[in-house]
Amino acid sequence: MTHWVLVPPHHRPPEALLTALASGRSRSDRLTHTEHLPARQARFSPWPANIRAEIVASARALGVDLPWAHQAEAMNLAKNGQTVVIATGTASGKSLGYLAPVLSDLLDGTEAPNGRGTTALYLAPTKALAADQRRRAAELAPDRVRPALYDGDTPPEEREWVRQYASYVLTNPDMLHRGILPGHARWSSFLKALKYVVIDECHSYRGVFGSHVAQVLRRLRRICARYGSEPVFLLASATTADPAATAERLTGLPAVAVTEDASPRGPLVFALWEPPLTENVGENGAPVRRTATAEAGYLLTDLVGAGTRTVVFVRSRRAAELVALQTQDQLGSPLAARVAAYRGGYLAEERRSLERDLHSGRLLGLASTSALELGVDVSGLDAVLIAGYPGTRASLWQQAGRAGREGQGALAMLIARDDPLDTYLVHHPEALFANPVEATVLDPDNPHILAPHLCAAAAELPLGESDLALFGPSTAQLLPVLEKRGLLRRRGANAWYWTRRERAADAVDLRGSGGSPVQIVEGSTGRLLGTVDAAAAHTTVHTGAVHLHQGRTYLVQSLNLETSVALVELADPPYTTAARDITSISILSTDTVVEWGEARLCFGSVEVVNQVVGYLRKRIATGEILGESKLDLPPRTLRTRAVWWTVTEDQLLDAEIPVDQLPGAAHAAEHASIGLLPLFATCDRWDIGGVSVPLHPDTQLPTVFVYDGHSGGAGFAERGFRRAEQWLTATRDAIAACECERGCPSCVQSPKCGNGNDPLDKAAAVRLLDVLLAGAPGQATAAGGGD
């Protein structure tokens, strides 16, 4: 073990840090690219005249003499009653931009006879972020403004006080959906006075979850209108493409975006890093790289040893603990005490203590999940290591922005996982640095999402003709369907009522995709640990599955689909599990077809039949296959949206792909395209699925499908269709650039392949994509006019 000496935290130029990391331990070949981002000077504006003097005085006491220009712009827009989205970088003071106008109006409201002439609602994707924001509001506003949390942890007696007296209620979309809207009569005095709705970290509302939240916000607007209020919506977002359009799709209201960041920033050196190949082998003898978390542990060890304040972002709670433990073990005493893990599940006091220790320099290294990415103010960091691409460029810049927040230079580093997307990015830096961040993809008009919200809305207030435009163009077609199912009853010409005794809102799981969630219960104690979506239960909590919960590992003893219960026991197996499945797909309807020479690119509706038939056990450290077990689970049917492409026999001849190579070529192209789609749509590879067929019965041609893994679709496949030429070109380049001979997890192998990553033909996949792309008409045509 290297014997590290205790060093005080000190700032070193980021170039020097990177040179030291790359030159040590023969690592020079791991650095694939370095990007230098210049410093930015602050631009200030005067306080808007309509911000109360008490709020200005509190801000000045906290060190904010003048707002930055974008903060003042947002304040003015909000006070003028405009829906506004603040989409600026990390640490750019978005909170003050919306808090100053909100708290000013709440102060005005305290002068009403009941002390609550104006109210505001704050929505956050996590309870921790809402708690942080409550503290910020309390720092800025006098005591007579009454901020209060309203979430699942709020005791019943306190909930009544919040309903009656709080002027600033901080909650989450789930509580709005399940608690506030169904019980709106008890919230009548709050809703009558509702002036503002703040939606924080709105870029996190994407896919199925975002589509649900969009419909919850339409239900909120409808109930507010019933009580005579028309609140102004204020949104805060990480930098995204076209934030005004995202805000409009989320709220249903025209929005103005504030995007020109006037906050100061120190120079940033951004490095791309690829871990080395190891002697271990994975499926079918494929080479395996050192894991991004193991590489991050080595790099964090060197940085902490040099007195560099560093945060490592990892993808899971377990990885956060592992990186911290690995680093502590390599450093030894006394430096090991200056490294810790930070993740969701910690108490607020524990998190505050860690943040203080990191800020003061007592703590030099922190391994964190994205819990530190959202809204937590940590300054004074010298370096950020990102172990694995976090899924979107927006999240990447959020995490990188945690370094250099006091104006000093800083180092950010993306460490590639053994994954096609990560491999592509570290060898194609222009995909990160020359492209704008993604648009947030959501589809509120998805009938599978809209239908249950129409039922919930009818239970809150009978639906009428005026509601059709509010809920979107599919509403008029869905109402008769819901009436035929006996869920709604029509009275008069245009009035629909909820017919059941049970609460309509309980049928909607905002973070799932329908069906009764499976409860995860500890068998020995009967304690409920959590739930998992019905759609994901077969692959994640089947009998024998390894299940992680709040840093602890459990083994699933049994899965009962009739009672929707998975029984688990605490365990510490040396392996993870991966489900094996078989999938068939049929085309229900084709919406759009684009001719790519002889090939065809299509988008439409499909039916996917999937059956989990077994699972693999993989060694945690190396990914080595330890064994396979069979399972007997029923098939599941999913109707969703897909993008697919076909090629002809003549094209296969041109590409020199004989019949025996075609299954492996199509399968490899499918895997890699799933891995690369998150670069063009704000999704994770686990949100989408794929099927490749050498001769599909519906097309009578070799066909590759990529589909949304959610009922009715989530907008991801459509995004792939609209960006098809760029997406499939990136897929082809990612396969071709990988240094392996026959295919590996960095290019064409998939961690969720139901066929054990067999057959795969890497070289034939490149030739297949070449012949497909040769006929592509250009992005503008294929995209139907672009984004």
pLDDT at 713 over 70: yes
Whether the per-residue pLDDT at 9 is higher than 80: the answer is: no
Work out the end-to-end distance of the chain between its first and last CA atoms, rounded to an integer number of angstroms.
54
One-character DSSP codes across 666-711: HHHHHHHHHHHGGGTSS--GGGEEEEEESS-TTTSS-EEEEEESST
pLDDT exceeds 50 at position 670: yes
Nearest to 510 by CA among 204, 282, 221, 757: 204
- Range 193-214 average pLDDT: 91
Give the Cα separation of 202 and 199 in Å (integer). Answer: 6
Lowest-pLDDT choice from 193-197, 344-348, 489-493 = 344-348
> 540 near 547, Cβ under 8 Å?
yes
- What would the two tokens of residue 44 be? 């200030």
pLDDT bracket for residue 360 (50, 70, 90) = confident
> Do the Cβ atoms of 431 and 679 come closer than 8 Å?
yes
pLDDT band of residue 445 (cuts 50, 70, 90) is confident
Q: Residue 4 above 60 pLDDT? A: no
How far apart CA 708 and CA 706 sit, in angstroms, is 7
Question: What is the number of helices (H) and of strands (E) in the chain?
Answer: 26, 30
Query: Of residues 625 and 32, which shows the higher confidence score?
Result: 32
Residue of 596 and 574 predicted with greater confidence: 596
The position carrying tokens 């009454």 is 146
- List, in sequence order, every residue forming a beta bridge with 258; answer none if it has no partner: 86
DSSP E strands: which ranges in 423-564?
463-464, 488-490, 495-498, 518-522, 528-532, 546-549, 552-560
Q: Across the strands, what pairs with 569? A: 555
State how far the Cα of 242 lies from the Cα of 473, in Å rounded to an integer: 22
Look up residue 586 and give its two tokens: 């049929």
pTM value is 0.79
Q: How confident is the model at residue 405 (pLDDT cuts 50, 70, 90)?
A: low
Going from the C-alpha of 341 to that of each of 128, 325, 390, the distances in angstroms are 17, 8, 18
Give me the pLDDT at residue 104, please.
Answer: 97
pLDDT in tens, 374-392: 445 555 688 999 999 987 7
Indicate whether 164 pLDDT > 90: yes
Distance CA(286)–CA(422), nearest Å, equals 17
Q: Report phi then psi at 440, rounded to 5.
A: -80, 120
Rounded to an integer, what distance in angstroms lies between the CA atom of residue 212 and that of residue 511? 8
Please report the pLDDT score of residue 786 as a whole number.
32
Q: Residue 703 above 90 pLDDT? A: yes
> How far, rounded to the nearest angstrom, does the alpha carbon of residue 181 sit from its chain's CA centroid?
26
Average pLDDT over residues 77-81: 97
Q: Identify the three-state secondary structure at position 460.
A: helix
Q: What is the pLDDT of residues 726-761, one digit of tens each?
A: 999 999 999 998 888 888 888 898 877 767 788 999
DSSP 217-264: HHHHHHHHHHTT--PEEEEEESS-SSHHHHHHHHHSS--EEE----S-
Please enumerate, as own/partner, the contacts of 498-503 that have beta carbons within 8 Å and a separation of 24 or more: 498/455, 498/458, 498/459, 503/182, 503/459
The tens digit of pLDDT for each residue in 537-594 reads 898 899 999 987 655 789 999 999 989 999 999 998 988 888 888 899 999 999 999 9
CA distance 53 to 142: 11
Residue 3 has pLDDT above 50, yes or no: no
- How distant, in Å, are the alpha carbons of 223, 496, 634 from that of 462? 11, 6, 39
Q: Which of 163-167, 321-325, 348-352, 766-770 has the least mean pLDDT?
A: 348-352
What DSSP state is assigned to residue 409? -
* Interval 607-659: pLDDT, tens: 999 999 999 898 876 667 889 999 999 999 999 999 999 999 999 999 999 99
Q: pLDDT value at position 604?
A: 97
Tokens at 401, concatenated: 């922005």
* Closest C-alpha among 269, 265, 268 to residue 34: 269
Q: What are phi and psi of 209, to 5 degrees?
A: -60, -45
Task: Give the residue from 389, 434, 398, 400 showing the smallest Cα distance to 685.
Answer: 389
For 416, the token pair is 């590639």
HSE-up of residue 414 (Cα within 13 Å, Cβ side): 33
Q: How buried is 191 (Cβ within 10 angstroms: 0-12 exposed, 13-18 middle, 19+ buried)? A: buried
Q: Hey, how many other C-beta atoms are within 10 angstroms of the C-beta on 621?
A: 14
CB 325 within 8 A of CB 293: no
CA distances 399 to 212, 375, 378, 412, 427, Å, are 26, 11, 11, 9, 20
pLDDT at 784: 34
Bridge partners, 617 (sequence order): 577, 627
- Residue 767, classed as helix, strand or coil, is helix
Query: Do 668 and 743 meet the contact criterion of CB atoms below 8 Å apart?
Result: yes
The answer on pLDDT for 781 being more than 50 is no
User: Across the strands, what pairs with 345?
Assistant: none
Neighbours of 531 (CB within 10 A): 18
In this predicted structure, the answer to whether residue 701 has a pLDDT above a threshold of 70 is yes
Residue 2 has pLDDT above 50, yes or no: no
Q: What does R_g of the chain's alpha carbons equal in angstroms?
A: 27
**Whether residue 1 has pLDDT greater than 60:** no
Most confident of 218-222, 314-318, 365-369: 218-222
pLDDT tens digit sequence for 323-351: 998 999 999 888 999 999 876 556 667 76
> pLDDT at position 330, please?
94
The predicted structure's pLDDT at residue 375: 46
User: Residue 707: left (phi > 0), alpha (psi -120 to 50), or beta?
Assistant: beta
Q: Greatest CA separation found in the chain?
A: 83
37 membership: H or E segment, kind and range: strand 31-37
Which tokens belong to 458?
Answer: 């009818």
Of 116-130, 131-145, 226-240, 362-376, the poorest mean pLDDT is in: 362-376
